[in-house]
Amino acid sequence: MHPAWFHVDNEADIPSPALLFYRSRIEHNLALMLQIAGDPKRLRPHVKTHKTAEVMAMQLRLGITRFKTSTIAESEMCAAVGATDVLLAMPCVGINAHRLADLAAKFPETQFSSIADSEETITFLASAAQQHNVTLGVYIEIDCGMGRTGIVPSDEAAMLAHVIKDTPRLQFCGIHAYDGHIHDESLDVRRERCDAAFAPVLQFRSRLQGEGVIVKELVAGGSPTFGIHAAYPDRTLSPGTTVLWDFGYGDKFPTDLPFQPAAVLLTRVISKPGKNRLTLDLGHKSVAPENPHPRVRFEELPDATVVMQSEEHLVLETERAHEFTIGQALHGIPRHVCPTVSMHGEAYIIEGAKTTERWPITARNRLITV
């Protein structure tokens, strides 16, 4: 029988719990991202999912040079690998504005930008840029319905765009609008909601341009709306989860976003506490715990029921418990891969059913050097 796709010949050498990256599946997902986008220049993928310099290098080799980040560390990783343009999609206030300006000074070949939805944030960025003698790009953050950060299209928003444009050491780059609240299973419903959410954003862009504010870029959407935004050539696409995928999105979007799970959690049976129970060494320090169970789906036991999970343990109930022995490995797909990856210091790279090397999760830490 041909081994399952997740099989690793030398997995006995991998301590558990462990994060595995399957290189061929990452390559498949990157190729599909390019196919959907139509041109690598349209992509500004989010690195928060993988936080890994080697994955970024794979993207750069495909002609993707612009990236989106959530932290200063992710931004530094991008610049160190060779990104030409990095958008930190997080308001930089306090010392973080100075850290971003510090990065701009340290990596002069990289254009660094951030977002702003208030005059206070603009002031933080302008002060830091002036003190470090650098120019920082700024995108106005538009709230298109998520209600997390951003300002709704309005007179006040237009005023902020003009303030950015007219502030020394700041360069107005465009609009950032993230629609993370739109993730309906139905593509038709998702598309209808996405188009409705972006209608005011497009009107706002037209208004700014009519007022003499050049909007060089509209950075739009995340993974669930990636294909929807791709149909419009007037915007940049910033999916993140698509690189590694997970069953949270995989179950919801199997048709229009046929990406492959490329990150697997290796765990082992460490106890069999009573009939029909297996205890694994996969606690909520190893897999994102913010969602209800199942937080991980096991390829060998997709129907197992979670009894409990603690920091280092996961107890499953299954009528097939008698088929598994102490020390036996199981392979799980996380429900939410992004925070799961950040719980691991490194990933074991699987090629040709063997682990070949380990990649550090470079931007797992909040600070690299700056």
Under DSSP, the state recorded for 4 is: P
Is 221 domain-assigned?
yes
Q: Does one domain contain both 351 and 235? A: no
Supply 74's token pair: 């992710």
- The CATH number given to whatever domain includes residue 307 is 2.40.37.20
Mean of the per-residue pLDDT values for the chain? 97
pLDDT by residue (tens digit) across 80-136? 999 999 999 999 999 999 999 999 999 999 999 999 999 999 999 999 999 999 999
Q: For residues 297 and 330, is the Cβ–Cβ distance under 8 A?
A: no
Q: For residues 179 and 196, is the Cβ–Cβ distance under 8 A?
A: no
Q: Does one domain contain both 287 and 156? A: no
Q: Does one domain contain both 48 and 82? A: yes
Tokens 């210091």 found at? 345
Going along the chain, which residue ranges are E strands? 18-22, 66-69, 85-91, 111-116, 136-141, 170-177, 217-220, 236-237, 263-271, 277-280, 296-298, 305-309, 314-317, 329-334, 346-351, 354-360
pLDDT of residue 96: 98
Alpha carbons 87 and 11: distance in angstroms, whole number: 38
Point out the domain boundary residue: 209, 243, 277. Answer: 243
Is it the case that residue 369 has pLDDT exceeding 70? yes
Point out the domain boundary residue: 216, 243, 270. Answer: 243
- The CATH number given to whatever domain includes residue 110 is 3.20.20.10
Is it the case that residue 71 has pLDDT exceeding 80? yes
Going along 127-232, which residue ranges are E strands? 136-141, 170-177, 217-220
pLDDT by residue (tens digit) across 247-257? 999 999 999 99
pLDDT of residue 1: 61
- Structural domains of the chain, count: 2
Alpha carbons 34 and 276: distance in angstroms, whole number: 45
Is 119 domain-assigned?
yes
Is 249 domain-assigned?
no
Q: Tell me if residue 108 falls in helix, strand or coil.
A: coil
Is 79 domain-assigned?
yes
Residues in the chain: 370
Q: Does one domain contain both 203 and 299? A: no
Q: For residues 32 and 51, is the Cβ–Cβ distance under 8 A?
A: no
pLDDT by residue (tens digit) across 271-292? 999 899 999 999 999 999 999 9
Q: Does one domain contain both 276 and 209? A: no
pLDDT of residue 274: 86
Q: Does one domain contain both 43 and 142? A: yes
Q: Does one domain contain both 264 and 206? A: no
Q: Does one domain contain both 192 and 307? A: no
Under DSSP, the state recorded for 102 is: H
pLDDT by residue (tens digit) across 214-239? 999 999 999 999 999 999 999 999 99
Which range of residues forms the domain containing residue 272?
Answer: 11-18+259-364
Is 4 domain-assigned?
no
Is 47 domain-assigned?
yes
pLDDT by residue (tens digit) across 291-317? 999 999 999 999 999 999 999 999 999
C-alpha R_g of the chain = 22
User: How large is the average pLDDT for residues 39-68?
Assistant: 98
Q: How large is the greatest C-alpha to C-alpha distance in the chain, in angstroms?
A: 72
Q: Tell me if residue 195 falls in helix, strand or coil.
A: helix
Is 358 domain-assigned?
yes
pLDDT by residue (tens digit) across 145-188? 999 999 999 999 999 999 999 999 999 999 999 999 999 999 99
pLDDT of residue 3: 82
163 backbone dihedrals φ, ψ, rounded to 5°: -60, -45
pLDDT of residue 9: 96
Q: Does one domain contain both 62 and 184? A: yes
pLDDT of residue 289: 95
Q: Does one domain contain both 278 and 203? A: no
pLDDT of residue 2: 67
Q: Does one domain contain both 239 and 273? A: no
Q: Does one domain contain both 61 and 179? A: yes
Is it the case that residue 143 has pLDDT exceeding 80? yes
The neighbour count for residue 354, using CB atoms within 10 Å, is 13
Is 199 domain-assigned?
yes
Point out the domain boundary residue: 179, 213, 243. Answer: 243
Alpha carbons 108 and 176: distance in angstroms, whole number: 23
